[in-house]
Amino acid sequence: MPRTASQGETSKAATGSLSAEFHATRALSEALVAPLSDADASLQSMEDASPAKWHLAHTTWFWETFLLREHAPGYRLYREDWPFLFNSYYEAEGARISRAARGLLSRPSLPEVLAWRAAVTDAMAPLLDDPNLAGLIALGVAHEQQHIELLLTDIKHALFQNPLGPAMWDGTLLEAAPAEPLGWHNHPGGIALVGHDGTGFAFDNEGPRHRVLLEPFALADRLITNGEWDDFIADGGYQNPRLWLADGWGWVQGEGISAPLYWQDNQHFTHQGWQTRDPAAPVTHISHFEADAFATWADARLPTEFEWEAIAAASHDRAGGNQFDSAAPPLPIGGPGLFGDCWQFTRSAYLPYPGFRVAEGAVGEYNGKFMSGQVVLRGASCATVRGHSRASYRNFFYPNQRWQFTGLRLAKDA
């Protein structure tokens, strides 16, 4: 039986709202595929990305495997051979198809996956009010929210491959407010407590809470914009090796990179197809290498994850800003808070905190085994389900990846 990989306690009083959150999250996942055909939902554009249909199925596998199979008396798997298709990376759950082959699953069809979802959602009902399962259910909700964001970014990448530039949603583009001149949140430095404080749900990688020493620093009060990125390009940013980390320069040259992902002339690809870029909106779909080069060009640097957390924990609403509320096109528009629009690169390697222990059982595979070669991102994006993230939340990607809504907030030494 897997133990939850979450931190902290979920109180009995919270189980009622947990049930509502479960149903809202399940419904939101399904609302995302309403504009998609079975063919759209089966596309896999690269190994890093998964088909929309696979996300819907994998999250359902998670509930069936870790909740229903373990805790619902007499539960029988919906299909005995489907776990092989929809286990992501849990070695403890046995063999599975290779990640790169997820786009070859024309069967089960999207309607069959949706029928499985309905059956699993119904079967979960008796478990939702069990206080002993609240931690595991909170983990399942958070897991499905993560896949909502991945579904959004993966389908964007898949539709981008089509020369017709198909829109997932029609409608009016959100307009960015004019970007204010860059200001700074100043911090005097000192010993800061970082990591999750144990109130409410958190992933295991957010703890244990511990002390870090911060030197005096400043964190920018807004994200870098498309217009500022245009200036970086115009100044030869992608041609100047002195701005780049060695691995980044190798990546720029090897891949022929000259702009953020999805950029072409003054346009960029969005969930609403090709659109004119708004120079006032935050730049997004950049790699860690690009963010670092821009910061060097701007005579600044990336923040450490603890600098970011010290500012966020003191004064910023984790549920504020431009985050994902309903099935509608996500797009960064800018704003004053630390959460929303884009995940923000830090210069921190994704490593375990002092005293971190991997939980026993399959769910212990959730985070810890990925602590190698990746960098931490903080905040939340326009595709993050509102309220999913928090000040201690640690997102992580490899430094060359940029299909997520990634952006840049500068920092500097005081």
Residues making contact with Fe ion (CB under 5 A): 88
CA distance 1 to 363: 9
**Nearer to Fe ion (CB atom), residue 225 or residue 395:** 395
In contact, 158 and 40? CB cutoff 8 Å: yes
Task: Output the smallest distance, CB 69 to Fe ion, in A.
Answer: 16
CB of 396 to Fe ion, least distance (A): 14
| Helix axes of 246-255 and 288-297: crossing angle, nearest 10 degrees | 110
Q: Least CB distance from residue 366 to Fe ion, whole Å?
A: 8
- In whole angstroms, the minimum distance from the beta carbon of 114 to Fe ion comes to 18
Give 52 or 218: the residue with its C-beta nearer to Fe ion. 52
Residue nearest to Fe ion (CB): 88
Strand partners, 184: 220
Tokens of 401: 């990846």
* DSSP one-letter string for 175-235: PPPPPPPP-EEEE--EEEEES--SBS-EEGGG-S-EEEEE-SEEEESSPPBHHHHHHHHHT
Instruction: Give the total residue count for the chain.
Output: 414
- At closest approach, how far in Å is the CB of 119 from Fe ion? 20
With respect to Fe ion, which residue has the nearer C-beta, 289 or 366? 366
Q: Which residue, 88 or 296, is less far from Fe ion as judged by CB? A: 88
Nearer to Fe ion, 88 or 153 (CB): 88
Q: Which is nearer to Fe ion, 54 or 306 (CB)?
A: 54
Residue 408 in tokens:
């840049």
d(CA 52, CA 110): 9
CA 318 to CA 388: how far, in whole Å?
8
Helix (H) or strand (E) holding 357: none
Smallest separation (angstroms) from Fe ion to the CB of 147: 6
Between CA 185 and CA 98 the distance in angstroms is 45
Q: Give the nearest distance from C-beta 369 to Fe ion in angstroms.
A: 13
Residue 88 vs 226, nearer CB to Fe ion = 88
Which phi and psi (to 5°) does residue 285 adopt?
Answer: 60, 45
Query: Is the distance from CB of 317 to CB of 339 less than 8 angstroms?
Result: yes
Q: How far is 367 from 363, CA to CA, in rounded Å?
A: 9
Report the residue number, 89 or 355, with the smaller CB distance to Fe ion: 89
Min. distance of Cβ 143 from Fe ion in angstroms?
6
- The tokens of 412 are what? 């500097």
